[in-house]
Amino acid sequence: MSESVEKTPVVSKALLGSFILVTCLFALWGFANDITNPLVAAFKGVMELSNAESTWIQAAFYGGYATMAIPAALFIRKFSYKAGILLGLTLYATGALLFIPAAVTMKFVWFPVSLYILTFGLAFLETTANPFILSMGDERTATQRLNLAQAFNPIGSLMGMVVASKLILAKLSTSQFRTDWIADHPESATMGAAELNEKVAAAYAAFKAAQPDVFAANQVADVAIIRNPYAILGVVVLIMFVVFVFKKFPAAEHKGEQLHPIETARRLFSTNRWWEGVIAQTFYVAAQITCWTFVIQYAMENVPGMTLEKAQNYNIGAMVLFLVSRFICTFLLKYLSAGKLLMQLAALAGVLMLCTIFLQNYAGLLCLIGISGCMSLMFPTIYGIALDGLGEDAKLGSAGLVFAIVGGAAMPLAMGKIMDGDGIGMLNAVSTSFFMPFVSFVIIAIFGFRTYTVHHRK
């Protein structure tokens, strides 16, 4: 590495204020992502849904990204980064506040609709913030700068997980019923996870039949518990909107430039590094979302005595590991090839995933948590590699990478259907479903290998 590159600042002093404020957005959408993931398990219990039905939460959430990614890119290319951020914050707040009327209806369908609108805003924010951060300085430090900004994303994610664990899952009547039943039945300590789950489900069905009025009141209270953090989040996002209104950003945003989306798309698809990056990003997001969403299901299926709150605490542990690893990987990128490090961590994640699938016990759960340490590098590094050298095409190119978040909508639905089945041989249905993220890590490792051996050498 040359001395000039080593002395190039990741963020210049002149742009530090803008960098910090835009970096706050990474934490803001991280919070939304990871307060939402546990809602799959929460709504499954509160609304008595199947695994497949409850995963519509994720389908709506990440489907919103797919719907709005390209319109967002065209919007910011026509107007400005700041305009994209302001519209994104408006949609974000709208979706969060729609949880209030959704809770009044007591109809599950309106919660995915609210999240769908909320993620219109997140699509604008991600499509804007990622290339904006890349543009804030020397191209040689762009990937390192994006990794630094993305390091604050898991801080928001961790906050979302804590709120989900302590203010939502722990307070649900469904969680309390399970805890109370286990406490009242000491013999449950010797039961396997499958037997325990079956007995708790039977007891809960008997409770609902015997006390329908109490069950209905509990359901209303549980929905209110889910609603409240989103209502508060909507107000916080509106405050951020006001801050951005009055903040002045760098002038070189190419505001109002003429659009040539078809020509730009042709250039992008002729760049192997970009379209391969879109594919890798699709499978990465699918793997990340399923690993974090279904930690709860894996823990409760394979570890006796597990509760929703305890399972979510393991998710929090995964996010802490993810956060620490993000800073470590950002440092390592100063000295190591991004493609090679991506390949190595994806391969390690694949090995840990196989252990998760076949162990089906507490050790398997720990392997699932360990995968988060491998994933920390992946999103920003794939993003930076794919957009490297694209210039102004990066604005539309970033939309393809945000559109790739649709992987987080499709794979949870497929895994939910597998979980509702019977499994394969000695593998239970939950463990069997994790073959899907295993395939994702194989594809990411291949992209890292091609980046290291083909794209960078060109």
Please check the confidence at residue 7 and state whether its pLDDT lies above 70: no
pLDDT given for residue 138 in this prediction: 67
- H helices within 106-192, ranges in order? 110-135, 142-150, 153-163, 173-184
346 falls in which pLDDT band (50, 70, 90)?
very high
For residue 177, the tally of other CB atoms under 10 A from its CB is 17
Bigger pLDDT: 279 vs 392: 279
Torsion of CA 113, 115, 118, 122, to 10 degrees: -130
pLDDT given for residue 238 in this prediction: 94
**CA dist 399 → 125, 194, 203, 278, 281 (Å):** 11, 43, 48, 10, 12
In angstroms, the CA 158 to CA 322 distance is 9
Work out the burial of residue 262: count CB atoms within 10 Å of its CB; fewer than 13 is exposed, 13-18 middle, 19 or more buried: exposed
Region 389-400: mean pLDDT is: 73
Region 130-146: mean pLDDT is: 73
Region 7-29: mean pLDDT is: 77
Please check the confidence at residue 19 and state whether its pLDDT lies above 70: yes
- H helices within 185-252, ranges in order? 193-210, 212-246
**For residue 147, which of 331, 16, 12, 8 has the smallest C-alpha distance?**
331
**For residue 284, which of 198, 209, 374, 223 has the smallest C-alpha distance?**
374
Orientation angle between helical segments 394-403 and 378-387, nearest 10 degrees: 140
In angstroms, the CA 390 to CA 201 distance is 54
| Contact indicator for 438, 353 with CB cutoff of 8 Å | yes
Please check the confidence at residue 252 and state whether its pLDDT lies above 70: no
DSSP secondary structure, 341-404, as one string = HHHHHHHHHHHHHHHHHHH-SHHHHHHHHHHHHHHTTHHHHHHHHHHTT-GGGHHHHHHHHHHG
Bigger pLDDT: 9 vs 317: 317
Please check the confidence at residue 97 and state whether its pLDDT lies above 90: yes
pLDDT given for residue 23 in this prediction: 87
Judged by DSSP in three states, 326 sits in helix
Please check the confidence at residue 32 and state whether its pLDDT lies above 60: yes
pLDDT given for residue 193 in this prediction: 67
Q: Which of 17-26, 82-91, 167-176 has the highest mean pLDDT?
A: 82-91
Bigger pLDDT: 357 vs 47: 357
327 falls in which pLDDT band (50, 70, 90)?
confident
**For residue 55, which of 32, 39, 34, 31 has the smallest C-alpha distance?**
39
Radius of gyration from C-alpha coordinates of the chain: 22
Angle, CA 356 vertex, CA 355 and CA 361 arms, to 5° = 105
Domains of the chain (ranges, CATH numbers): 13-247 (1.20.1250.20), 261-457 (1.20.1250.20)
Going by the DSSP 8-state scheme, the letter that residue 421 receives in this structure is: S
pLDDT given for residue 36 in this prediction: 85
Please check the confidence at residue 144 and state whether its pLDDT lies above 50: yes
Say which range, 59-68, 227-236, 273-282, has the weakest mean pLDDT.
59-68
- Using one digit for the tens of pLDDT, what is the confidence trace for 421-435? 888 888 998 999 999
pLDDT given for residue 4 in this prediction: 45
**CA dist 177 → 17, 41, 63, 207, 309 (Å):** 49, 15, 33, 10, 12
pLDDT given for residue 3 in this prediction: 45
- Using one digit for the tens of pLDDT, what is the confidence trace for 154-179? 788 888 888 888 888 888 888 888 88
pLDDT given for residue 251 in this prediction: 59
Task: Give percent of the chain above pLDDT 70.
Answer: 91
Q: Which of 46-50, 72-76, 283-287 has the highest mean pLDDT?
A: 283-287
Judged by DSSP in three states, 427 sits in strand
Maximum Cα–Cα distance for the chain, whole Å?
75
- Using one digit for the tens of pLDDT, what is the confidence trace for 188-214? 777 766 777 788 888 888 988 999 899
Q: What is the mean pLDDT of the chain?
A: 84
Please check the confidence at residue 82 and state whether its pLDDT lies above 60: yes
Please check the confidence at residue 139 and state whether its pLDDT lies above 90: no
DSSP secondary structure, 254-322, as one string = -TTPPP-HHHHHHHHHT-HHHHHHHHHHHHHHHHHHHHHHTHHHHHHHHSTT--HHHHHHHHHHHHHHH
pLDDT given for residue 8 in this prediction: 66
Return the residue matching tokens 């013999």: 187
Please check the confidence at residue 86 and state whether its pLDDT lies above 70: yes
Region 353-359: mean pLDDT is: 95
What number of CA atoms fall less than 13 Å from residue 392's CA on the CB side? Answer: 16
442 falls in which pLDDT band (50, 70, 90)?
very high
In this structure, what are the phi and psi dihedrals at residue 270, rounded to the nearest 5 degrees?
Answer: -85, -5
**CA dist 303 → 64, 139, 170, 200, 416 (Å):** 34, 48, 18, 15, 19
Q: Which of 92-96, 278-282, 324-328 has the highest mean pLDDT?
A: 92-96
Bigger pLDDT: 250 vs 167: 167
Region 233-260: mean pLDDT is: 76
The pair of three-digit structure tokens given for residue 201, joined into one six-digit string:
């489900």
Bigger pLDDT: 344 vs 311: 344
